[in-house]
Amino acid sequence: MTYDVAVVGGGAAGLTAAASAANQGANVLLLERNKRCARKVMITGKGRCNVTNHSEPQEFLKNICRNGRFLYSAIFRFPPQQTIRTFEEMGVPLKIERGNRVFPQSDKAVDIVDALVRGARKAGVEILCEKRVREIFFGDIISLSCEDGSSYRAKTVILATGGISYPATGSTGDGYRFAEAAGHRITELLPALISMECRESWCADAAGLSLKNVTLTLLREGTKKPLYTELGEMLFTHHGVSGPLVLSATCFCGDPEKEKLSLRIDLKPALSAEKLDERILRDFSEFPAKQLSNALVKLLPSSLILPVIRSAGLSERKQACQLTKGERLRLVETVKALPLTPVRFGPMEEAIITAGGVAVEEVDPKTMASKKQPGLYFAGELLDVNGKTGGFNLQIAFSTAQCAGMAAAEEAFQK
């Protein structure tokens, strides 16, 4: 039997692409290497599944870190509003939380997974699990051979295998290998939406401290314009920093081991330098005889007092009343820009997504069709496109998959 469309990978992108093609009337086969589909979706959003971001397409694209222009057609054609409508029509009521993050009302990712599988099957997709594709042979008819010895034929194929983050969920890079074999260039693969390890040893002393309403700025040596700056939440770990701000920042830079990066934390973004200086003067007038380490207890979390003082080049034993104006201004500058030095990302195994992938200039942005190999399409994380944390990356998967599914079905009908 020859299928119209074969989809390799049963995650969010694969299930969506398969349903999209089948809803056009195509005969669709989906091959998934795991026992169950969408294992990675099950752990997104800490098991709650941040399914999309409720923002208009133009605003959505501002949150794409890599190759946002490539997504223009896909996001306008299949925006977040359609994703929300689709899941609610499939019986999954959703809710919108801070930052326009969209979650199932149940707070259970399994409801999203079940809806994706149910939608694909309702459309007529044949889903085969525990089928790891070993090789793909391209021709007028495409042949897919699996590790268990089985083989399948299709007129078109959609690769939706994901990246290499969270390999325990089945994302082991098979799709990159298939894409390269078809003549595609794979850009450098890096962990993204991941913690950062920092040179400063004092991070371990602040481990567990969560900061809210701070501004994080990411800088590259030799450039004046920040790579990233945003207000939000972050936290300290034993080896560095993590949390929403840090995860998003990792999408905007290269490998910290290959380029010199720095972080700056504005601990009091609501206060100008002048207002902060006035605040510090008031605190010091209340504790004039106290050592600096004790005079800042109202201003800073206890675990950050010594790092701030030392980063400002001051002595924690100096009395508050003894600080010169110049020293006080150094303190203000440090509170407004506490420095950290990233030295490496956390391990790929802990990354939420993979940055890098199939070079987008080799893919048609309207159809997700390969410009190198007729009959080949891509969807989701496999592409060199990614966004910040907050539901953007799942929406990328849904939008690119919808385009790929419809276009693959149309090409198959012409054969």
Residue range 96-116, pLDDT digits in tens:
999 999 999 999 999 999 999
Tens-digit pLDDT profile for residues 223-242: 889 999 999 999 999 999 99
Q: Is the pLDDT of residue 171 over 80?
A: no
Query: What pLDDT score does 168 carry?
Result: 66
As a whole number, mean pLDDT of residues 170-187 equals 92
Query: What pLDDT score does 93 carry?
Result: 98
Q: Is the pLDDT of residue 356 over 70?
A: yes
Q: Is the pLDDT of residue 405 over 90?
A: yes
Tens-digit pLDDT profile for residues 50-101: 999 999 999 999 999 999 999 999 999 999 999 999 999 999 999 999 999 9
Grade residue 170 by pLDDT with cuts at 50, 70 and 90: low
As a whole number, mean pLDDT of residues 374-398 equals 97
Query: What pLDDT score does 115 carry?
Result: 98
Q: Is the pLDDT of residue 408 over 70?
A: yes
Rounded to two decimals, the pTM is 0.92
Grade residue 4 by pLDDT with cuts at 50, 70 and 90: very high
Q: Is the pLDDT of residue 155 over 70?
A: yes
Q: Among residues of the chain, what percentage have pLDDT more than 70?
A: 99
As a whole number, mean pLDDT of residues 275-284 equals 96
As a whole number, mean pLDDT of residues 355-372 equals 98
Cβ neighbours, 10 Å, residue 145? 14
Query: What pLDDT score does 349 carry?
Result: 86
Grade residue 169 by pLDDT with cuts at 50, 70 and 90: low
Grade residue 302 by pLDDT with cuts at 50, 70 and 90: very high
CA-closest candidate to residue 97, choices 60, 65, 49, 63: 49
Tens-digit pLDDT profile for residues 248-274: 999 999 999 999 999 999 999 999 999
Which positions ≥6 away from 335 have C-beta within 8 Å?
A: 266, 267, 268, 276, 299, 300, 308
Query: What pLDDT score does 100 carry?
Result: 97
Looking at every residue in the chain, the average pLDDT score rounds to: 96
Rounded to whole angstroms, what are the CA distances from 372 to 21, 58, 162, 307, 359?
21, 30, 20, 53, 11
Query: What pLDDT score does 45 carry?
Result: 85
Q: Is the pLDDT of residue 289 over 80?
A: yes
As a whole number, mean pLDDT of residues 156-160 equals 98
Grade residue 167 by pLDDT with cuts at 50, 70 and 90: low
Q: Among residues of the chain, what percentage have pLDDT more than 90?
A: 93
